[in-house]
């Protein structure tokens, strides 16, 4: 291998031609609407398709949540404004415009599924990854452009199946986004079969996407773009893709098995002697409900890092760019990201302490869980330290990125008590858990995604989003996010359980009645203040919804009316900003030759305070002595 190191073939400048390097006709022709927007193989168009679809799904998932919050705060009271519409569309489950417990369960399951698999992952991984990664590594496109298009189409199909499931008799899946068996199989509606079919499609899409990303990052880096010159965002996407590649298939296997349970009436997850509604179920039995949980959480936990790593990547880019100095501890960040990815595969059973697990295995998983938190803390610390001594530009993307740091910190640190069996036994399935993971994902990841949208919008459109409305969006979101989620910690610690369609009213009342007659040593009644918080959370959630209106309007208004900017408005160093805006098909007008690391800001002997990665002038960072493969 020594003989032919770094012999790269000559660059062929971009030549508009969809189809990913098929041979034959080379003449330039204007693609039609369908080949440009629907069957496009251009990674930038696909990225935007993913982005718009994911944002729409997130809005939809948020809407489901608003209706659930109404039901929690005012159980059984018809939903204002939307109630009649709900009844018209969904019929009996929304009789009188109120949300029945079954419908609440559907909404809960679908809120989780949509937010995770149709909202955050497609936006963080597929949309930003697709648009930005090839630009950052200096590639003309993804390694397999047609496969890329196919992944989007499969994803779209999966989304359609999930949406359709709302309208079938009995409604969408009701067994929670975790779909634990035997509950998922014994609910007598078809929602679960639709959910599983949708999931198999979404998983397939993610797998194809992950293959494409990894192959692209390995194979299509521009000359000189060595591994240690990759921007942290690319590293984050690389690790994320590996998590999707290796953690998703076991869930696909589990999904197929549960589909067999639901459709072919097998008993993979149904134990012997299963009783449904007081009657012995007509199944062969012999299955293992715990098997589902193992296979589900084998994906479920790496999935957490799938949600958070791309967000960390975006935040790293935005922070270095706006502090105007190199990121602190680039290598630590990279190794920490790799360590997080590796460890995340062997922590999953900390979701299952309550399943009657023995001490030995619980100890193992507690240990690995504590270990996996270390690299996350390293990443966060590096980003905090990067702020030190920087001349910080407080623009909208930076505000969101800065808010990410403490919000993710809260989310991460409140996770530690859940990783230890002793405290988890008490906190399991309470609102504390909800607050914990929402702090990671909602003010954490979603803030980072907003930062990304504001940050890369000028690259996609050539215009900047409105700064004033951006700030309004930020401050309102920041305040109301915290008012929504902070009280949930208190509710959870007080013992309020999740998944109760009445927000605990029934439960609380029942226990209060009991205290007079019989002893109920296990549970105290929920104090009235805890129930009162439900009302506050509802109004904060509504306000949070209203706070997104400036963002939506700003996003569409700025496409045509935003302030016009040149190709590198943020004065960034990475390759994505060294191409025309918007980048042409094939991305680069000349072949980028990378000569330095990703974050050369404020180099002392350079004319400007940023030195692009492909700028030949000035002192280049010395090449590592051994060739990186």
Which residue of 86, 110, 135, 254 would you call a contact of other proteins, by CB under 8 A?
254
Per the listing, tokens 């084998």 go with 298
Q: How far is CA 378 from the centre of its chain?
A: 21
Map the footprint of other proteins across residues 466-505, applying CB under 8 A: none
Question: How many chain residues bind other proteins (CB under 8 A)?
Answer: 77
466 and 562 Cβ atoms separated by less than 8 Å: yes
Helix (H, G, I), strand (E, B) or coil at 13: coil
Residue nearer to other proteins on the CB measure, 344 or 548: 344
DSSP string for residues in 385-427: HHHTT------HHHHHHHHHHHHHHHHHHTTHHHHSHHHHHHH
**Distance of alpha carbon 335 from alpha carbon 315, whole angstroms:** 17
**Distance of alpha carbon 138 from alpha carbon 591, whole angstroms:** 8
The least CB distance from residue 169 to other proteins, in Å, is: 23
Which residue of 110, 175, 281, 295 would you call a contact of other proteins, by CB under 8 A?
295
413 and 432 Cβ atoms separated by less than 8 Å: no
Does position 589 interact with other proteins (CB under 8 A)? The reply is no
Does position 15 interact with other proteins (CB under 8 A)? The reply is yes
**Residue 109 is inside which H or E element, if any?**
helix 101-113
227 and 623 Cβ atoms separated by less than 8 Å: no
Map the footprint of other proteins across residues 147-206, applying CB under 8 A: 147
Which residue of 93, 174, 232, 252 would you call a contact of other proteins, by CB under 8 A?
252
Phi, psi for 3 (deg, rounded to 5) = -65, -40
Map the footprint of other proteins across residues 323-362, applying CB under 8 A: 345-346, 349, 352, 356-361
Residue nearer to other proteins on the CB measure, 100 or 148: 148
Residue nearer to other proteins on the CB measure, 140 or 182: 140
Span from 16-24, 76-84, 325-333, 500-508 in contact with other proteins (CB under 8 A): 16-24
Non-local (6+) Cβ contacts of 416 within 8 A are: 370, 373
Which residue of 56, 92, 284, 513 would you call a contact of other proteins, by CB under 8 A?
284
Residue nearer to other proteins on the CB measure, 263 or 374: 263
The least CB distance from residue 252 to other proteins, in Å, is: 6
Residue nearer to other proteins on the CB measure, 123 or 143: 143
The least CB distance from residue 364 to other proteins, in Å, is: 8
Map the footprint of other proteins across residues 21-40, applying CB under 8 A: 21, 23-24
The least CB distance from residue 204 to other proteins, in Å, is: 10
The pair of structure tokens assigned to 490 is 């208190």
**Distance of alpha carbon 168 from alpha carbon 102, whole angstroms:** 14
Residue nearer to other proteins on the CB measure, 95 or 215: 215
**Residue 568 is inside which H or E element, if any?**
none
Residue nearer to other proteins on the CB measure, 298 or 474: 298
Map the footprint of other proteins across residues 363-422, applying CB under 8 A: 364
The pair of structure tokens assigned to 195 is 């959910």
Helix (H, G, I), strand (E, B) or coil at 464: strand
Which residue of 264, 522, 607, 616 would you call a contact of other proteins, by CB under 8 A?
264
Map the footprint of other proteins across residues 124-143, applying CB under 8 A: 140-141, 143
Helix (H, G, I), strand (E, B) or coil at 31: coil
The least CB distance from residue 375 to other proteins, in Å, is: 17
Non-local (6+) Cβ contacts of 399 within 8 A are: 451, 470, 471, 474
Does position 287 interact with other proteins (CB under 8 A)? The reply is yes
Distances (CA, A) of 251 to 122, 182, 303, 349: 18, 16, 11, 15
The pair of structure tokens assigned to 368 is 């690995």
Residue nearer to other proteins on the CB measure, 128 or 353: 353
Span from 73-81, 94-102, 212-220, 370-378 in contact with other proteins (CB under 8 A): 212-220
Does position 253 interact with other proteins (CB under 8 A)? The reply is yes
Tell the burial category of 509 from Cβ atoms under 10 Å away from its Cβ (0-12, 13-18, 19+). middle
Which residue of 78, 83, 145, 415 would you call a contact of other proteins, by CB under 8 A?
145
The least CB distance from residue 145 to other proteins, in Å, is: 7
Maximum Cα–Cα distance for the chain, whole Å? 87
Residue nearer to other proteins on the CB measure, 247 or 541: 247
């Amino acid at each position: 291998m020594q003989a032919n190191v770094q012999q790269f073939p000559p660059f062929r400048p971009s030549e508009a031609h969809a189809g990913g390097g098929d041979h034959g006709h080379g003449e330039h022709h204007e693609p039609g609407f369908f080949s440009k927007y629907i069957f496009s193989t251009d990674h930038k168009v696909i990225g935007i398709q993913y982005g718009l679809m994911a944002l729409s799904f997130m809005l939809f998932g948020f809407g489901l949540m608003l209706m659930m919050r109404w039901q929690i705060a005012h159980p059984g009271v018809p939903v204002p404004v939307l109630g009649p519409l709900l009844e018209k569309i969904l019929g009996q489950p929304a009789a009188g415009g109120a949300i029945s417990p079954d419908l609440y369960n559907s909404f809960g399951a679908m809120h989780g599924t949509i937010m995770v698999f149709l909202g955050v992952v497609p936006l963080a991984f597929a949309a930003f990854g697709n648009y930005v990664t090839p630009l950052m590594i200096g590639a003309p496109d993804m390694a397999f452009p047609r496969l890329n298009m196919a992944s989007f189409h499969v994803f779209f199909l999966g989304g359609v199946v999930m949406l359709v499931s709302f309208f079938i008799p009995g409604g969408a899946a009701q067994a929670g986004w975790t779909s634990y068996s035997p509950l998922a199989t014994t609910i007598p509606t078809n929602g679960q079969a639709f959910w599983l079919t949708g999931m198999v499609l979404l998983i397939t899409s993610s797998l194809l996407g992950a293959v494409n990303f990894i192959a692209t990052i390995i194979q299509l880096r521009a000359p000189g773009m060595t591994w240690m010159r990759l921007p942290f965002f690319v590293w984050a996407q690389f690790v994320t893709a590996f998590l999707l590649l290796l953690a998703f298939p076991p869930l696909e296997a589990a999904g197929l098995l549960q589909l067999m349970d639901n459709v072919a009436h097998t008993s993979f997850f149904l134990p012997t002697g299963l009783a449904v509604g007081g009657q012995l179920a007509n199944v062969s039995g012999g299955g293992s409900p715990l098997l589902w949980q193992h296979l589900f959480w084998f994906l479920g936990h790496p999935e957490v890092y799938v949600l958070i790593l791309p967000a960390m990547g975006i935040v790293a880019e935005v922070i270095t760019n706006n502090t105007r100095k190199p990121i602190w501890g680039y290598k630590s960040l990279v190794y920490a990201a790799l360590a997080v990815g590796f460890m995340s595969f062997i922590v999953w059973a900390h979701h299952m302490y309550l399943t009657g697990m023995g001490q030995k295995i619980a100890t193992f998983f507690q240990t690995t869980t504590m270990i996996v938190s270390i690299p996350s803390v390293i990443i966060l610390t590096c980003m905090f330290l990067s702020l030190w001594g920087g001349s910080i530009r407080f623009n909208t993307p930076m505000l969101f990125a800065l808010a990410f740091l403490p919000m993710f910190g809260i989310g991460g640190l409140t996770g530690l008590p859940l990783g230890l069996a002793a405290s988890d036994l008490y906190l399991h399935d309470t609102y504390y858990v909800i607050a914990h993971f929402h702090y990671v994902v909602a003010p954490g990841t979603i803030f980072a995604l907003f930062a990304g949208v504001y940050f890369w919008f000028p690259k996609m459109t050539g215009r900047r989003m409105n700064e004033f409305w951006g700030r309004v969006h930020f401050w309102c979101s920041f305040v109301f996010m915290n008012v929504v989620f902070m009280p949930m910690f208190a509710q959870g610690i007080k013992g309020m359980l999740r998944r109760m369609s009445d927000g605990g009213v029934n439960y609380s009342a029942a226990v209060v009645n009991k205290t007079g007659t019989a002893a109920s040593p296990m549970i105290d009644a929920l104090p009235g203040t805890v129930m009162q918080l439900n009302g506050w959370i509802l109004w904060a959630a509504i306000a949070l919804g209203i706070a997104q209106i400036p963002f939506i309007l700003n996003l569409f208004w700025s496409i045509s009316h935003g302030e016009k900017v040149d190709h590198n408005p943020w004065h960034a160093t990475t390759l994505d900003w060294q191409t025309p805006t918007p980048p042409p098909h094939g991305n680069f007008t000349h072949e980028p030759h990378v000569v330095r690391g990703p974050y050369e800001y404020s180099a002392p002997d350079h004319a400007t305070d940023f030195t692009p990665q492909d700028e030949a002038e000035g002192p280049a960072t010395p090449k590592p002595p051994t060739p990186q493969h």
